[in-house]
Chain A
Amino acid sequence: MTRLLLLLLTSSATLLVFGLWIPLKAVIAQELLEMAWAESQARQTELRPWPWADTWPVGRLAIPELNDSMIVLADTHGESLAFGPGRLTGGDNTGGAVIIAGHRDTHFRSLKALETGNEVRLQALDGRWQSYLVEGARVVDSRSELIDTQSLPEGTLLLVTCYPFDSVDTGGPLRYVVRASARGKQTEQIDTVAGI
């Protein structure tokens, strides 16, 4: 009986630790990414935040209304979403729309609080901030709808995360998509300091 109890206790504790590790990892990784971002801005090059990383920071996403800011990573493959939201397409002179996806449980949890008219800012490698205005949000079914990147106008920003926000189902088909459009090119000073 006691052993069973012990087993139950340790396994639950392990689960809890694993569960808490995910948000913790998300927070720690962002700290490391901040450093990598500062350095890659200073050197104007893509820089891996840790030697074995398969991704690198490509931008900083800030939501002034929610006092939230995070480093965006290249691509959404593999484990990279655990460390920060990933940029699917766009950015860096390629033109077209920018699409960023993030985990609803960690970085993009705050997406549900975004409202039409809110400002979202995106910083590129050259330090320039691009300001976007939220046009609206909608729920899509990923089984029946795809993102048609070609039909999205230039200067569109899509923020994608899973929906519903409080679900425990990791494989759900619904996505919450916030659409924002660019508000004129703005140039601001680089506000990060090189940390080499």
Chain B
Amino acid sequence: MMLTYLRLYSPVLDRSSTPGSSAVASKTRCEYVPVRSAPPSMAPHGFGNHRGAASDFAGSRRLRFKRLGEGISLWLAVLLMLFVHPLYAEANEADNVGELHFVDGQGQWQEPALVLDSEFEIRVSGLIADSRLLRSFRNTSDQWREGVFVFPLPEKASVYGLTMKVGERTIEGKVQPKETARRTYEKAKQAGQHAANVEQQRPDLFTARVANIPPGETVSVELKYQQPVQYQAGVFELTVPTTLTPRYMPGAPVRSAPDQWQGGWALPTTEVPDASAISPFTVNPTDVATDSHRASIELVIDSGLPLESVSSPSHRLASRQDGQTFSVSPEGGEILMNRDFVVRWRPVAGLEPSAAVFHQSWQGEDYLMAMLVPGDNGSMVLPRDLVFVIDTSGSMAGESIRQARSALQAGLDTLTPRDRFNVIQFNSQTHSLFMQPEVATGNNLARARQYVDRLRADGGTEMASALSRALDSGVETEAGARVRQVIFITDGAVGNEAALFRQIRDQLGSQRLFTVAIGSAPNRHFMREAARWGRGTYTAIQSPSDVDGPLQALFSAMESPVLTDIRVNWPGQETGREAFPARPGDLFQGEPLIHVVRGVPAMGELKVSGRLPGGQDWNRTLDLQQAASATGLHRHWAREKIDSLEDEAKVAGREPNRAGITGLAVKHGLMSAYTSFVAVDSTPARSTETPMVSDNLPTLLPAGSQAGMLRYPQTATSAPLLIALGVVGLMFSLALVLLQRRAFA
């Protein structure tokens, strides 16, 4: 709908702006003269009264007053005319404006007609969370509608099912190659059949399309997806994203066909060709219907461990305990979809799992998933070169930049006089505090604190130059003696993720990149992958009160040595065995190693070895016979395999193995970059003559952030209203006064 406005407005310029208003102005001038000449012609009235009561002195004085009063009221009448006239003019003008553009056939303002409702049902068992997401599109208009909604899912989600619900009927969706699915959907849409299509735009960003929603009715789309639960430093964490931060699209706009239908606010650019598909309009919660964009969340945690606490840094929780099973939902029922829902749970102290194995057999094949926590290996602190990179782009404005500043200040606190550091900020341009890393003396730290306090968020997100500056600024003279680390504090609101990953890989060298995600809805996919390519870790901060905990974990992880050169040996022969991740990255303090394999039965021992920072070897074995049975492992494995295929292509700089990924996704019933879900009802619901309108549903502005898109300010004063009211009131009272006088006289 927004788009209709955008498009329709442009013609307004030429038609109603200048010519229209100048016509009004000239009219005003024409009528001004006759009105002004009115007083003389009305004067006889006054004289008439004068003649009738000229006998005594007091009377004549009163008369003079009266005459004065009448004169004043007449002039006021003139003034009033002047003020009232524009009101008429405005009324006429407003009609024109309405007729031209803003009003639909029924003379109604075109508000978005679809009301969106979401229900999450999440079940956590072991290390995998299985979710059912029901999105309902309720059509409140009296026209047929198509709903298009861009939404985020957890960054490691594997979508494996789509069901469309129309009234009592349910239609199962099928996995098809992306183009085929889209064609199927478009055909069904033209034919008037109920149809739904869900496509992946980014690994964590999806588009749902629902065609032929009857007037006054609801069509629901149910998505099934699973995600691995994050486990770090003895705390499990699960994130349910609800909205996305508008992303910055670097590059020059590609103005292809100007008439082409567009769903987003951003034009495709040279670096982000699909910009319009990942840039839904972002609006304030007050701009959608009062019951739209709400989500109910029901989370069941069945971790098989005695839990000490379940908490959320983002929302207040209402939780119920039943043995070892916790049922959690947000307090007060539905939540507004403007902030990611994050739940953390902590096993009873001392009972934190340090190893776990899960097993599933699917279609005659064995899948195993193992988790191993290396544990505390003592520490050996090396002097560091620490480069803080802070995002001060427009998308960080508001709460985000405050969080980022306090995160940076906390980072500065961890520096010792042996360390060297630098602070780099970037928006459209990159600017650094020092030319090169300086020793963390009190003086330098004080300068840095001042610099950080003055950071303001504004402008674009040109991340590439900041990354180069951070990764290249190292003086490689004392290689080995110092640990070089880059802390990257941002909301990751960019559209050119792939290019940035490539850059990190190319420029990294011996350094490590740690990412800290800021804001209510950061681009978690980018943050996690950037840290992975940068051989570091990723930390998310949910709210200002949440800065300390995660950051302390990060800084202690950064100080502690890592387990490197990790080798995972599954038992049995090599053939038919495929394990992911193929090359496990380095592990930091408190981080678990998670490995998934196909083709290994639950027998024998898993051997894991690595090297500690001092150079000693580290070995651990895991008995596979104790594996607990689980579901969804094959999907997790398939998703890992797809990711690794895409990684390989990125490293080699070529197109990913399209056929391989498609085949894998279809076999495991998964959504991927090349496959999507489509569901079509066989019987047509809408006759092809009845028109259908397409609605692009907006997403909500993440809580606490300021719109990168500016809102038009309020630019009217109450002066005309006050003046008009005052003049009318004065006129009225003077008229009353005169009447009274006349009655007495």
Interface residues of A (CB under 8 A from B): 1, 5, 8-9, 11-20, 22-23, 76, 81-82, 86, 88-89, 94-96, 99, 101-106, 108, 112-116, 136-151, 160-162, 164-172, 174-177
Residues from chain B with a CB closer than 8 A to the CB of A113 are 21-22, 25
Residue on B with the closest CB to A86? B713
B22 touches A12 (CB 8 A): no
Complex: how many Å from CA A1 to CA B736? 10
Instruction: Tell me the count of chain B residues lying within 8 A, CB to CB, of chain A.
Output: 67
B726 touches A12 (CB 8 A): yes
How many interface contacts (CB-CB < 8 Å) are there between A and B? Answer: 204
Complex: how many Å from CA A166 to CA B82? 11
Q: Given A103-B717, A144-B5, answer yes or no on A166-B87 (Cβ-Cβ < 8 Å).
A: yes
B2 touches A145 (CB 8 A): yes
Most chain A CB inside 10 Å of its own CB: which residue of B1, B17, B93, B710:
B17
Select one of A5, A19, A177 contacting B722, CB under 8 A.
Answer: A19
A151 touches B718 (CB 8 A): no
Is B654 on the interface with A (CB-CB < 8 A)?
no
Complex: how many Å from CA A96 to CA B393? 13
* 6 CB < 8 A contacts A-B: A15-B726, A16-B722, A138-B13, A139-B12, A164-B90, A164-B93
Residue on B with the closest CB to A114? B18
Residue on B with the closest CB to A101? B713
Q: Mark B577-611, 1 if CB is under 8 A from A, else 0.
A: 00000000000000000000000000000000000
Q: Given A151-B267, A164-B94, answer yes or no on A103-B428 (Cβ-Cβ < 8 Å).
A: no
Output the least CB separation between A36 and chain B (Å).
Answer: 22
B713 touches A160 (CB 8 A): yes
Residues of B713-727 contacting chain A, CB below 8 A: 713-727
A166 touches B716 (CB 8 A): no
Q: A20-B723, A162-B714 are in contact. List 12 more A-B contacts (CB 8 A).
A: A15-B726, A19-B724, A89-B458, A103-B715, A103-B717, A137-B18, A146-B710, A150-B249, A151-B265, A151-B267, A162-B716, A170-B718
Is B555 on the interface with A (CB-CB < 8 A)?
no
Select one of A89, A106, A145 contacting B717, CB under 8 A.
Answer: A106
Residues of B245-266 contacting chain A, CB below 8 A: 248-249, 253, 265-266
A108 touches B715 (CB 8 A): yes
Interface residues of B (CB under 8 A from A): 1-2, 5-6, 9-10, 12-14, 16-18, 21-22, 24-25, 86-87, 89-90, 93-94, 97, 102, 248-249, 253, 265-267, 281, 287, 394, 428, 458-460, 707-730, 732-734, 736-737, 740
A139 touches B17 (CB 8 A): yes
Residues from chain A with a CB closer than 8 A to the CB of B10 are 138
A160 touches B715 (CB 8 A): yes
A99 touches B716 (CB 8 A): no
B86 touches A170 (CB 8 A): no
Residue on B with the closest CB to A136? B13
Complex: how many Å from CA A179 to CA B87? 27
Complex: how many Å from CA A162 to CA B718? 12
Complex: how many Å from CA A171 to CA B266? 28
Residues from chain A with a CB closer than 8 A to the CB of B707 are 146
B715 touches A11 (CB 8 A): no
Complex: how many Å from CA A166 to CA B287? 26
Residue on A with the closest CB to B723? A19
Residues from chain A with a CB closer than 8 A to the CB of B2 are 144-145
Output the least CB separation between A127 and chain B (Å).
Answer: 25
A5 touches B736 (CB 8 A): yes
Residues from chain B with a CB closer than 8 A to the CB of A136 are 13-14, 17
Residues from chain B with a CB closer than 8 A to the CB of A171 are 714, 716
Output the least CB separation between B716 and chain A (Å).
Answer: 4
A-B pairs with lowest CB-CB distance, top 6: A12-B729, A16-B726, A19-B722, A166-B86, A19-B723, A146-B709
B710 touches A147 (CB 8 A): yes
Residues from chain A with a CB closer than 8 A to the CB of B711 are 142, 146-147
Output the least CB separation between B25 and chain A (Å).
Answer: 7
A12 touches B728 (CB 8 A): yes
A169 touches B712 (CB 8 A): no
Residues from chain A with a CB closer than 8 A to the CB of B710 are 88-89, 99, 146-147, 149
Q: Given A8-B732, A96-B459, A148-B265, answer yes or no on A168-B709 (Cβ-Cβ < 8 Å).
A: no
Residue on A with the closest CB to B722? A19
Residues from chain A with a CB closer than 8 A to the CB of B87 are 166, 168
Residues from chain A with a CB closer than 8 A to the CB of B6 are 144-145
B708 touches A150 (CB 8 A): yes
A138 touches B719 (CB 8 A): no
